[in-house]
């Protein structure tokens, strides 16, 4: 299933099945949203959960476990949000654990002595870039879950998920209040009309009564049966209370509402905005081969690497072939699809892979989203690169060719400080000062030794 966030009727398309990752999606009810919000507060603020919330959370965990029986490992996210952002929040302790593992692997691959020499020669940029690559891999690894309980903890530890659910809850509440207000105004108008109609009827009856009396006086005849019937009708009008009038009006209103609902259902207009929980099968993805493409007027205008903070030196070797593969894939597989050509502007995320070393590159789509300036443009800029992104200049494929001077600046202050001070072992930075001190001491000892020898002889 490809996650598609576009204004189209059906987001499950057979055409994209061969290019997508298997996934299950579940609509989240307003009751579940409320419980999830409470669960977030429980995890972050240690607040207590009531029995109903516990039951709802347990049901969701069981639902996710059902999908995990099929997938074994998966990524669990809220549709329309960036899962990677969850793992980059300082509250995610699992990311720190994964980063430590990645750094250990890095130090095994690159001997400490080599890294120290690079650092002593003031070539820290390459080391920092390698460490930042470890950070990206660690954040991706944190998304890998094997149990429903683990998945919900990861989701609800995220401030971003909390805000997204809270915003959805508030939007739905505002919609309900708006509807209730409109219905209340309609009821008030109908009640007022009912009262006015009742007064008019009463006035008409009084006029009729006067006319009858005048005729009776003229004719000199009194009809008791007629009088009794008229009196009975008058009593009925007088005894008719405002509540009865209101009940009649409400009954009429309910009938009208039902008719309107039926009409809307027939037209397909009545659609509630739902929020979905997505359970996507876990597959190993090399960050270097993740890309984001921009489509304007049904033309691919630009492609950028997704993990923009890292420089992948190997990418330069594959750049031409990758760009050619992406453009060819777009023309043959996406450009002519009706549901996408009708939505001519969108952003597409995907990754490229080879089954074997000498095979051609293949593409798997990760998601399709709306084309707007609030989306991350990668190595492009919505203002300075407007002509490129909007198709008024030549197509461009961008990737970072040189490491940043200070790669840690791309991260939040919390992560930057954590990586630089706590997570990077002394073999990279701390050992530099130790090594200098040791070298100085050895030189001093050697001088002392020489002086001692010279003094003896």
pLDDT tens digits for range 402-413: 888 777 777 766
pLDDT for residue 385: 96
pLDDT higher at 107 or 28: 28
- Region 334-343 average pLDDT: 73
- Region 115-141 average pLDDT: 73
pLDDT for residue 115: 54
Question: Which phi and psi angles does 48 have, rounded to 5°?
Answer: -85, 150
Per-residue H/E/C for 216-268: HHHHCCCCHHHHHHHHHHHHHHHHCCHHHHHHHHHHHHHHHHHHHHHHHHHHC
pLDDT for residue 263: 59
Average pLDDT value over all residues in the chain: 78
| pTM summary value | 0.69
Contacts of 92 (CB under 8 A, 6+ apart): 86, 142, 154, 157, 158
Point out the least confidently predicted range of 107-121, 303-317, 341-355.
Answer: 107-121
pLDDT for residue 341: 62
pLDDT tens digits for range 370-403: 898 888 899 999 999 999 999 999 999 999 998 8
- Region 229-254 average pLDDT: 52
Contacts of 286 (CB under 8 A, 6+ apart): 351, 353
pLDDT for residue 10: 45
pLDDT for residue 429: 47
How far apart (Å, rounded) are the C-alpha atoms in residues 33 and 39? Answer: 10
- Region 248-264 average pLDDT: 56
Where b means 16+ CB within 10 Å and e means fewer, 384-398 reads: ebeebbbbeeeebbb
Structure confidence at residue 112 as a pLDDT band (50, 70, 90): low
């Amino acid at each position: 299933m490809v996650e598609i966030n576009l204004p189209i009727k059906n987001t499950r398309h057979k055409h994209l099945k061969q290019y997508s990752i298997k996934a299950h999606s579940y609509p989240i009810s307003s009751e579940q949203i409320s419980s999830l919000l409470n669960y977030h507060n429980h995890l972050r603020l240690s607040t207590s959960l009531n029995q109903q919330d516990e039951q709802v959370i347990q049901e969701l965990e069981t639902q996710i476990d059902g999908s995990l029986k099929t997938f074994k490992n998966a990524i669990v996210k809220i549709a329309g949000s960036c899962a990677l952002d969850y793992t980059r929040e300082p509250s995610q302790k699992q990311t720190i654990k994964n980063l430590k593992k990645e750094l250990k692997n890095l130090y095994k691959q690159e001997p400490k002595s080599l890294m120290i020499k690079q650092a002593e020669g003031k070539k820290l940029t390459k080391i920092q870039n390698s460490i930042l690559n470890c950070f990206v891999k660690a954040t991706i690894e944190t998304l890998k879950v094997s149990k429903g309980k683990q998945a919900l903890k990861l989701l609800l530890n995220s401030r971003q998920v909390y805000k997204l659910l809270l915003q959805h809850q508030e939007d739905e509440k505002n919609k309900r209040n708006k509807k209730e207000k409109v219905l209340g105004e309609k009821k008030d108008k109908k009640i007022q009309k009912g009262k006015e109609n009742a007064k008019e009827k009463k006035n008409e009856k009084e006029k009729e009564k006067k006319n009858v009396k005048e005729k009776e006086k003229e004719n000199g005849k009194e009809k008791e049966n007629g009088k009794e019937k008229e009196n009975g009708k008058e009593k009925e009008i007088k005894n008719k209370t405002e509540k009865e009038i209101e009940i009649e009006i409400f009954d009429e209103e309910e009938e009208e509402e039902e008719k309107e609902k039926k009409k809307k259902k027939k037209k397909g207009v009545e659609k509630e905005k739902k929020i979905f929980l997505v359970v996507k099968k876990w597959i190993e993805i090399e960050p270097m081969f993740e890309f984001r493409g921009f489509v304007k007027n049904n033309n691919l205008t630009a492609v950028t690497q997704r993990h923009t903070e890292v420089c992948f030196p190997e990418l330069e070797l594959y750049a031409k072939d990758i760009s050619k593969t992406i453009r060819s894939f777009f023309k043959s597989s996406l450009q002519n699809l009706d549901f996408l050509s009708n939505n001519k502007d969108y952003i597409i995320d995907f990754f490229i892979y080879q089954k074997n070393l000498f095979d051609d590159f293949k593409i798997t789509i990760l998601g399709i989203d709306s084309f707007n300036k609030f989306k991350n443009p990668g190595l492009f800029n919505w203002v300075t690169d407007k002509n490129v992104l909007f198709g008024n200049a030549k197509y461009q494929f961008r990737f970072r060719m040189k490491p940043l001077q200070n790669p840690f600046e791309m991260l939040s202050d919390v992560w930057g400080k954590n990586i630089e001070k706590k997570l990077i072992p002394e073999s990279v930075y701390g050992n530099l000062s130790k090594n200098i001190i040791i070298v100085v001491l050895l030189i001093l000892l050697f001088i002392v030794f020489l002086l001692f020898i010279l003094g003896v002889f």
